[in-house]
Amino acid sequence: MGERRRDGYLLTDDAARVDLGRVHQWLSEESYWAAGRPYEVTVRALEGSQPYAVLADGEQVAFARVVTDGATFAWICDVFVAAGHRGRGLGQWLVDSIVEDLSAAGVARFLLATRDAHEVYRRSGFTALEGADRFMEIDRRPTRAAILGHG
C-alpha cells in the first residue's frame, strides 16, 4: 500500500488525504447507489473501511473504499471518479490497486457490485458471481430500486 503516481495523478491509501466533504457530496448527490446518504453515515463508512483517493494537483478527483478483514475477503465499494476526470482509467486504477494491495496480503476473494460498469471491472479480472443463488441479503437501502435499475 502507500502511494502510486501516473500521468500527473497520485493514488494514495492514506485516509488523512481523503476530502470527506467532497466524497460525501459525490456519493450523496451524484451517485445512484448512495443518493441522500447522510454525512454521518459517510463518516462511519470511511471509519470502518480502507479508503483510497486519487489526487490531481492536491485536489481529490476519485475515490474508492474497501471493506475487508485483511486476510480472506474484501468488498470494494463507493468507486467514484469526478466528471472532469472520467475516461482516463482512474476507476480501474483504483480497483486494480486495491486488488494488488490486498492480494499481496493474502486476500483471495474480492466482491463488488455495479449496475452499469461491468466492462470496467472485467478488465480488472472480475466475472459474474458464480453461485449467486447461495447468497442472501437484507437490503433496506432507500436507493435499492435505483441500484437495481428499477427506478
Q: How far, in Å, CA of 145 to CA of 151, rounded?
A: 5
Q: Does domain 3-147 have CATH number 3.40.50.1980?
A: no
- Sorted by where each begins, the domain ranges of the chain are 3-147
Q: Which residues contact 4 (CB under 8 A, 6 or more apart)?
A: 10, 11, 12, 93, 97
pLDDT tens, position by position, 2-29: 899 999 999 999 999 999 999 999 999 9
pLDDT tens, position by position, 94-137: 999 999 999 999 999 999 999 899 999 999 999 999 998 998 88
Regarding pTM above 0.75, the answer is yes
